[in-house]
Amino acid sequence: MDFLKDSGGGWNSDLVSLLFQPDDAALITSIPVGNSATPDTQIWHFNKQGSYHGSLPRLDPKWLTPAPDTIKINFDALIQWDRKGAGVGIIARDSYRQCVMWRTNFYPGVEKVEHGIGC
């Protein structure tokens, strides 16, 4: 999620506005950004030829809830080569694990990762 933050640690409003509909962008940027930095982690590995091989890794079954009065946001994106587009999804949950907001978008015409980053 670091790429959604600006240099001051707040939301990169321009990027959020570019990725989401105006009403969703307003909701997202109204959520305070937490002050504890959790680094991104890779959840599976590719083989030496660059393709995934084998079964999915065992994931930690514990979903850590955010602190009370805090919203946890999970964001994911993918490039769909066969559809020549990119998809993004976001879900926000409160400390009771209740979904408070979700959104998915598909952006046609994305043929390269570099284009997906800039769209």
Residue 105 lies in a domain: yes
Residue 86 lies in a domain: yes
Residue 41 lies in a domain: no
The residue type at 16: V
Please report the pLDDT score of residue 35 as a whole number: 63
Residue 74 lies in a domain: yes
Please report the pLDDT score of residue 90 as a whole number: 92
Residue 76 lies in a domain: yes
What's the pTM?
0.42
Determine which helix (DSSP H) or strand (DSSP E) holds 14, and give its type and residue range. Answer: helix 13-19
Residue 102 lies in a domain: yes
Region of residue 8 (left: phi > 0; alpha: psi -120 to 50; beta: else): alpha
CB-neighbour burial class of residue 90 (10 A; exposed 0-12, middle 13-18, buried 19+): buried
pLDDT tens string, the chain, 119 residues long: the values are 566 677 777 788 888 888 888 888 888 888 877 666 666 555 555 666 666 555 555 555 666 788 888 889 888 888 877 888 888 899 998 888 888 999 998 888 876 665 445 54
Residue 58 lies in a domain: no
Domain that holds residue 105: 2-36+64-118
Please report the pLDDT score of residue 95 as a whole number: 87
Residue spans of beta strands (DSSP E) within 1-119: 72-80, 85-93, 99-108
Number of domains in the chain: 1
Residue 100 lies in a domain: yes
DSSP character at residue 71: -
